[in-house]
Amino acid sequence: MNRLIRLWRQNRLLVSGFVLVLGLVLFFAIRTALFVSYWNDPAHRNQPVEAWMTLGYVAHSWHVPVERLARDLDVAPPPRNAPRPSLERLAKERGQTFSDFRTELEAAIARLRAEKDKR
């Protein structure tokens, strides 16, 4: 314990930087572990499309590229560093009911998966 106290007294800036970096590493390690465990759960694969989902969530769940899915639906690709609109909101912006949009989305997913299976 005396070593730690001496190290703190002699190198406060270095120890503070080390603790900060260690905290960031721990944060991102936990975040990555949670992400991996969530998507490895079979219950989160090929989920039925619901209004609260985002286009990126659906693309990840169904293992299709989000950019191609957005292009097939004629919507803008989801922004990377901004809030992503729900499918219900995308349907409203297109002037459709959610059920019509969901039907179109499911058809696009089927097409993309069929293309993927042909390769």
**pTM across the whole model:** 0.71
Q: Does position 112 have pLDDT exceeding 90, yes or no?
A: yes
Instruction: Evaluate if residue 20 carries a pLDDT over 80.
Output: yes
Q: Could you report the per-residue pLDDT of 48-98, keeping only the tens digit for each?
A: 999 999 999 999 999 999 999 999 999 988 888 888 999 999 999 999 999
Q: What DSSP string describes 27-94?
A: HHHHHHHHHHHHHHSGGGSSPPP-TT-BHHHHHHHHT--HHHHHHHHT-PPPPSSSPPPBHHHHHHHT
Are 105 and 88 in contact, with CB atoms under 8 Å apart?
A: no
Percent of the chain with pLDDT over 70: 99
Give helix 98-118 / helix 55-62 axis angle, nearest 10°: 40
Q: Which amino acid is at 57?
A: Y
Would you say residue 43 has pLDDT above 90? no
Instruction: State both tokens at 117.
Output: 């299976």
Say how far apart CA 100 and CA 82 lie, in whole Å: 26
**pLDDT in the model for residue 19:** 94
Quote the mean pLDDT of the chain: 91
Q: How confident is the model at residue 108 (pLDDT cuts 50, 70, 90)?
A: very high
Contact call for residues 7 and 15 (beta carbons, < 8 A): yes
**pLDDT for the residue numbered 71:** 94
Q: Is 69 exposed, middle or buried (0-12, 13-18, 19+ CB in 10 A)?
A: buried
